[in-house]
Amino acid sequence: MSTISELELEVSAARRKLNELEHLLHEKRRLHDSAAGGEAGLSGRRTCDGSSEDSSGKTNESFESASNSLTKEAIERFSRQIVLEDIGAAGMERIRRGRVLLVGAGGLGSTIALYLAAAGVGNLRIVDFDTVERSNLHRQIIHTDVRVGMKKAESAAESCLAINPQINVSTVTAPFAPSNAEELVRDCDIVVDGSDNVATRYLISDAAARYRRPLVSGSALKWEGQLSVYCVGQDGPCYRCLFPVPPPAGAVGSCDDSGVLGTVPGCIGCLQATEVLKLLVGAGEVLDRRLLIFDALSMQLRVVKLRGRQRNCAACGDAAAGTANRTLLELTADRPEYVMRSCTLNNGQCSSALPPDARVTPAVFFDKLRALETAGRKSSMVVVDVRPKGQYDMAHLPCSSSLPLRQLEMWKQNGTLKAMWKEFTKEAIGSGEGCVDVYIICRRGIASVRATEILRTLEEPVGTTGSSGTKTYFRFINVDGGLTRYHHEADAAFPLY
């Protein structure tokens, strides 16, 4: 019987074959329609009055259109939006000629890209350096399971072209950075922010403000989403006008850490795509100087007014004139917010604050776990998981006990740390004496460092009698890199999320 891995490979191969057959079928249908149109004179060159010419130069009068780009296929594809009074043939032509830069092909970018492609936006450039992960798929619907490991920008382009092969989709698999931001923004008509971090948000806005490109910006976290349009016309505020000072590191949550309901970025992404189309055709009122707030739990939409462009804004106000001759790359030293800084990028630096005897690698920890399983739960070793309870309930090491960092910090703050720790460890330690090694673990080895620092204040010298009346003392040890590194270096069977 085939193993699970062999079956997974067979399924992946079958899916790839199915995709190839679907592309082949579409191409044959397209060629068939083109041939039929050529015979009828419908696929020929358009004349200035809207009639069509076949290859012999003879005019075909089967239909005329106010837009030279409206072929038979285009009308059949886009008729439902062309018949809208605010779009029409002229609006469809503006959509077809539109140049849209989308930064981010994740939860927001998925629906943005799909709907812009389906609507016929003629030139779409997608920027994303990341690769598709299985944890993306519940919300990033532009990607598929067989594309795990593929560049997100390339995966998104494939999906867009599968919906509408008549558009131009280009990809940039490098990060959106000060070195390329100006060139990318300068070459588009509208910028769409589908990113998920503060650094990119400020950089996109500053580039859009410099070249006065409308910026459709959205965000989604947990059950909530927000949307606004910046840099509209000459008086529209930029993101920095409203938030001149970036928030402190760690103050802004992410989908990775805080979670997100998959439909929320989908809803916000659809609304972002709507604002892009309105800007292209010049229809209605966009969210200029307004912020839309969506709460999925209460199912409420609110729109609040925002202040206008600020004269003292460093990106688009009077102060910007002094930096106009410097590139954004040259301004990086003055604007450190352009650079993403996260302890998750190198959690070894986080644990380096601890002494060597208070740290352990995942591989060594794994060996200790095997020994613990043999000895039983009550032993001279305790594993404490300091992640939030929800994450612990989702998946945890069988031998571990849950003690969220927030609870530890509360105990320390109210002065009950020693008493509560004694109560917490009573079951795990039992009546044993001597040294008890307490291994502290979290998701990425960041919260565990803080927890280890707090608990190390409880360590007692060897040979002293603790408050329990037994000769027991604790040695607190941080597991470097947390469960993420543990998955990669010790036990791949533990879920990676």
Is 48 annotated as ligand-binding? no
pLDDT of residue 325: 85
Is 270 annotated as ligand-binding? no
Residue 6 has pLDDT above 60, yes or no: yes
The contacts of residue 304 (CB under 8 Å, 6+ apart) are 290, 291, 293
pLDDT of residue 345: 41
pLDDT of residue 471: 64
Q: Which of 267, 350, 399, 442 is catalytic?
A: 442
**Type of residue at 233:** G
Backbone angles phi, psi at 295, to 5 degrees: -115, 110
Residue 375 has pLDDT above 90, yes or no: no
Residue 257 has pLDDT above 80, yes or no: no
Average pLDDT, the chain: 85
Query: What CA dihedral angle connects 133, 18, 270 and 122, to 10 degrees?
Result: 110
pLDDT of residue 56: 39
Q: Which residues pair with 402 in a beta bridge?
A: 385
Is 138 annotated as ligand-binding? yes
Q: Which of 188, 231, 255, 267 is catalytic?
A: 255
Is 188 annotated as ligand-binding? no
* pLDDT band (50, 70, 90) for residue 342: low
Mean pLDDT of all residues in 406-431? 85
Q: Give the separation between CA 446 and CA 463, rounded to whole angstroms.
A: 32
Residue 109 has pLDDT above 90, yes or no: yes
Residue 346 has pLDDT above 60, yes or no: no
Tell which wins on pLDDT, 69 or 323.
323
Residue 207 has pLDDT above 50, yes or no: yes
pLDDT of residue 61: 60
Query: What tens digit of pLDDT does each residue of 285-313 get?
Result: 999 999 999 999 999 999 999 999 999 99
Is 256 annotated as ligand-binding? no
Q: Give the separation between CA 93 and CA 78, rounded to whole angstroms.
A: 11
Task: Give yes or no: 399 in active site.
Answer: no
Mean pLDDT of all residues in 384-400? 94
Confidence (pTM) = 0.75
Q: Cα separations (Å) of 2 from 17, 323, 485, 492, 493?
A: 20, 64, 30, 21, 20
Query: What tens digit of pLDDT does each residue of 442-482 get?
Result: 999 999 999 999 999 886 643 334 455 556 788 999 999 99
pLDDT of residue 252: 62
Most confident by average pLDDT, 167-171, 249-253, 366-370:
167-171
Comparing 52-56, 85-89, 314-318, the range with the smallest average pLDDT is 52-56
Backbone angles phi, psi at 74, to 5 degrees: -65, -40
pLDDT of residue 57: 43
Residue 495 has pLDDT above 70, yes or no: yes
Is 136 annotated as ligand-binding? yes
* pLDDT band (50, 70, 90) for residue 432: low
Query: What tens digit of pLDDT does each residue of 92-104 get?
Result: 999 999 999 999 9
Is 316 annotated as ligand-binding? yes
Alpha helices in 169-304 (DSSP H): 181-186, 198-211, 239-242, 255-258, 263-281
pLDDT of residue 371: 81
Q: Classify the C-alpha dihedral 308-312-315-318 as positive or negative.
A: positive
Task: Give yes or no: 350 in active site.
Answer: no
Q: Give the separation between CA 352 and CA 295, rounded to whole angstroms.
A: 40
Q: Which two tokens stand for residue 248?
A: 């402190």
pLDDT of residue 378: 54
The residue to which tokens 């358009």 are assigned? 46
pLDDT of residue 351: 63
pLDDT of residue 32: 64
Could you give the percent of the chain with pLDDT greater than 90? 62
CA 106 to chain centre: 5
Query: What tens digit of pLDDT does each residue of 152-176 get?
Result: 999 999 999 999 999 999 999 999 9
Is 238 annotated as ligand-binding? yes
Is 400 annotated as ligand-binding? no
pLDDT of residue 71: 87
Residue 496 has pLDDT above 80, yes or no: yes
Is 58 annotated as ligand-binding? no
- Nearest to residue 340, comparing CAs of 197, 132, 163? 197
Is 135 annotated as ligand-binding? yes
Cα angle for residues 386, 430, 491 (degrees, 5° grid): 45
Is 107 annotated as ligand-binding? yes
Q: Give the separation between CA 463 and CA 444, rounded to whole angstroms.
A: 34
The residue to which tokens 């998959």 are assigned? 262
Is 313 annotated as ligand-binding? yes
